[in-house]
Amino acid sequence: MTDTPSASDAEALPRQAAPLWGAALIKDEVTRLPDAPGVYRMIGEADEVLYVGKAKSLKKRVVQYAQGRFHTNRIANMVDATRAMEFITTRTEADALLLEINLIKQLKPRFNVLLRDDKSFPEIVIRRDHDAPQLRKHRGAHTIKGDYFGPFASAWAVNRTLNTLQKAFLLRSCSDSVYDSRDRPCMLYQIKRCAAPCTGLIGKDDYQALVDQAEAFLRGKSRAVMATMAKAMEEAAEDLEFERAARLRDRIRALSAVAQETQINPETVEEADVVALHVEGGQACVQVFFFRAGQNWGNRAYFPRITGAADESEEEGVTEEQRIITAFLGQFYDDKPIPRLILANVQPAESELLSEAFALKSGRKVEIAVPKRGEKADLVQHALTNAREALGRKMAEGSAQTKLLAGVAEAFKLDAPPERIEVYDNSHIQGTNAVGGMIVAGPEGFMKGQYRKFNIKSTELTPGDDYGMMKEVLRRRFARLVKEEEEGDDANRPDLVLVDGGQGQLDAAIEIMADLGVDDIAVVGVAKGPDRDAGLERFFIPGQTPFMLEPKSPVLYYLQRLRDEAHRFAIGAHRTRRSMDLKKNPLDEIEGVGPGRKKALLHAFGSAKGVGRASVEDLVKVDGVSQALAERIFGFFRKG
């Protein structure tokens, strides 16, 4: 498999500093460009990257921008805003395409089509680094030795399939440490979800047979697996082994449930992603359905940013839809497994080049097809219907969101509807494990990728000092904002800050923001009503008398949702921190006691308390514990 080319892998051409700008600058740059494939970047006045493009010939491609003949006003505006250009040459055009994709995702230029939702997908892995292979959910890089199956569109989809596989194949899901410590079967064995290889209730060969069946099922051989099970069930019944026959019957039913739960299971498509694009009203939705092993493993909707985009293709007569689907596919598969077949409703621009780049990246042939008839065409049409409906819902929600933000601006006397709202809340128990939470919302709803948690670090705070905690959170948040703005990045400046609390919390927020020079940002305190009743909230604004909104006001409901989301996020972060503290072992704090020695000590004495009661002579007997370390451990538990 070939890695995506990076800027360091290619020959970077020197950036020319010149007083020229726009088309004149580009015309001057062309005189020094080679007739070779590569990637170019257009740089704006604030040194920001405006656009990233690739070319089969840098010289021939870039000269087109200097000729003044543009397809759209967006491209003309982009050229006019260009103050510098940077170039990287590559070995091939496919390498240039992969590098372009990588840079777009990294730099997020405002004139490129951008895929905004870029979360990794969950997969199922059968681990092969243990005598008893484990079946588990996995996200991220394939660092564990094993067989990977996916992607699944959501955690719900992968959890449902895992649940079915456990019922059908009885493979263990426990961690290695739990597996090694078992001396009797766990509850999963009792409810017929595990064969209990940990205690030897199933032999290694028989357990491996179950693993092989699970692998065959996930590779699309479900009918053969079910047929084998059905034959075994009949033989058990003939031998009057009714209990074994009943277990096999239940396993067959579990596998049958997979086919019933998935909405579409095609007969002619074993492995493919079905991609459908719908564009309307200056917005776009792309629906992606994942088919693996002849089963539908879920779908997800994406809404790439196309407003202001000026993406172009070197081919003439390329439509906007073709440019969008090309940009989407490139960015989508930059860090995801690429299937052998991609079915789409729109033919991508430079489709053959895209297939070549995908083949280079995945190490095997990748086909991109636009089916016109048959089952594959039906799958694409189904995905297009979903894309059209999803975009319709989003546009309706966006219209409602716009009205709500206009109502917020009116309620708090803002100059314009806020584009970015930040809401802050703290969570703790009598001052312990204190955490501050920040959630972000805007015209498109909650921006969960922008959420932040702040572990309260100050040792000078009185336990339970909510004002002091709020000051620390806001100082850290806005000190970072000031630094970002000094570096030319003002994308994360909020238009409105909501703090959970009344006048005291508001005063604390104003003090910190004034100290940092960001007191031009609107701040509002949201105090809960008497007995914390929803609908009776009071709002505190600097220089105004506290007020309430109409109890049935949609704006009030919206502000309650923001506050509740901040509360939920802060509590979740607090519980996670508290849970981590509860899991801490005193041995982790002793210098020289690593995972190996810790395991040996716990095995020898049963628990940290047992280690604490042991004498130096007993500690030295443990493998890996020297006299000096034994004395250090002994002293640690008696330092009080």
Within a domain: 414: no
Residue 17 pLDDT more than 70?
no
**With the CA atoms of 27, 33, 34 and 37 taken in that order, what torsion angle do they form, in degrees rounded to the nearest 10?**
-90
Give whole-number Cα distances, 558 to 130, 425, 436, 535, in Å. Answer: 51, 17, 22, 11
The predicted-structure confidence for 126-139, as pLDDT tens digits, reads as follows: 988 888 898 888 88
> Could you give the CA distance from residue 101 to residue 52 in angstroms, rounded to a whole number?
9
Q: Are residues 570 and 605 in the same domain?
A: no
Query: Does residue 255 sit in the same domain as residue 166?
Result: yes
* Dist. CA 161–CA 272, nearest whole Å: 18
Question: Residues 412-435: what's their mean pLDDT?
Answer: 82
**Domain tally, the chain:** 5
One domain, residues 294 and 362: yes
Dist CA 61 CA 79 (whole Å): 14
Q: What is the mean pLDDT of residues 235-239?
A: 77
Residue finishing a domain among 581, 602, 627: 581
For residues 142 and 241, give the distance between their C-alpha atoms in angstroms, rounded to a whole number.
42
Same domain for 128 and 100? no
Residue 410 is assigned to a structural domain of this protein: no
Q: Tell me, yes or no, whether 476 and 569 share the same domain.
A: yes
Of the candidates 87, 175, 191, 193, which has an alpha carbon nearest to the alpha carbon of residue 134? 175
Compute CA 312 distance to the chain's CA centroid, rounded to the nearest angstrom. Answer: 28
Helix (H) or strand (E) holding 88: strand 84-89
d(CA 257, CA 269): 20
pLDDT per residue as tens digits for the range 607-621: 777 888 888 888 888
Q: Is 406 left (phi over 0), alpha (psi -120 to 50) or beta?
A: alpha
Average pLDDT, stretch 307-333? 79
- Do 247 and 214 belong together in one domain? yes
Residue tagged 């080049």 (tokens): 353
Q: Which domain holds residue 325?
A: 272-389
Same domain, 425 and 490: yes
Mean pLDDT of 248-256: 71
Checking if the pLDDT of 118 tops 70, the result is no
State yes or no: pLDDT of 31 exceeds 50: yes
264, pLDDT greater than 60: no
User: Residue 7: what pLDDT?
Assistant: 52
| Residue 551 reports pLDDT greater than 80 | no
Q: How far apart are CA 311 and CA 52, in angstroms?
A: 9
Among 64-68, 97-101, 271-275, 388-392, whose mean pLDDT is lowest?
A: 64-68
Q: Is residue 532 pLDDT above 60, yes or no?
A: no
425 and 529 housed in the same domain: yes
Q: Kindly indicate the confidence band of residue 117, based on its pLDDT and cuts at 50, 70 and 90.
A: low
Q: Are residues 328 and 288 in contact, defined by beta-carbon separation less than 8 angstroms?
A: no
What does the pLDDT read at residue 341?
A: 93
Mean per-residue pLDDT for 531-554? 80
Residue 122 carries which side chain, given as an amino acid letter? Answer: P
pLDDT at 263: 47
Instruction: Examine residue 70 and state whether it is found in any structural domain, yes or no.
Output: yes
CATH of the domain at 373: 3.30.420
Q: Is residue 416 part of a domain?
A: no
Average pLDDT, stretch 320-328?
Answer: 89
For 587, the token pair is: 């041995």
Nearest to 170 by CA among 184, 151, 190, 152: 190
Q: Residue 226 domain-assigned?
A: yes
User: Which residues have C-beta within 8 Å of that of residue 445, sequence separation ≥ 6?
Assistant: 397, 401
The per-residue pLDDT for range 429-484, each reduced to its tens digit, is 655 667 888 999 988 888 888 899 888 777 666 666 788 888 888 998 998 888 88
Find the CATH number of the domain harbouring 83: 3.40.1440.10
DSSP β-ladder status, 367-369 and 445-446: unpaired
- In this prediction, residue 262 carries a pLDDT of 47
Please tell me which of 78-82, 185-189, 309-313 the model is most confident about, judged by mean pLDDT. 78-82
Residues 186-201: tens digit of each pLDDT: 888 888 788 889 988 8
Looking at the structure, tell me whether residues 139 and 200 fall in a common domain.
yes
pTM as predicted: 0.60
CB 605 within 8 Å of CB 593: no
- Asked if residue 222 has pLDDT above 70, the reply is no
In this prediction, residue 531 has a pLDDT band, given cuts at 50, 70 and 90, of: low
Q: Is residue 399 part of a domain?
A: no
Q: What is the pLDDT of residues 336-348, one digit of tens each?
A: 888 899 999 999 9
Residues 530 and 445 in one domain: yes
Kindly tell me if the per-residue pLDDT of 368 is higher than 90.
yes
Q: Looking at the domain assignment, is residue 129 inside a domain?
A: yes
Distance CA 108, CA 50 (A): 9
* pLDDT tens per residue across span 347-367: 998 889 999 999 988 888 999
In a domain, 112, yes or no: no
Same-domain status, 176 and 305: no
Average pLDDT of the chain is 82
SS3 state of residue 538:
strand
CA distance 11 to 90: 7
pLDDT for res 212: 87
Q: What is the percent of the chain where pLDDT is above 90?
A: 15
Domain end among 59, 77, 107: 107
Same domain flag for 79 and 128: no
pLDDT tops 60 at residue 1: no
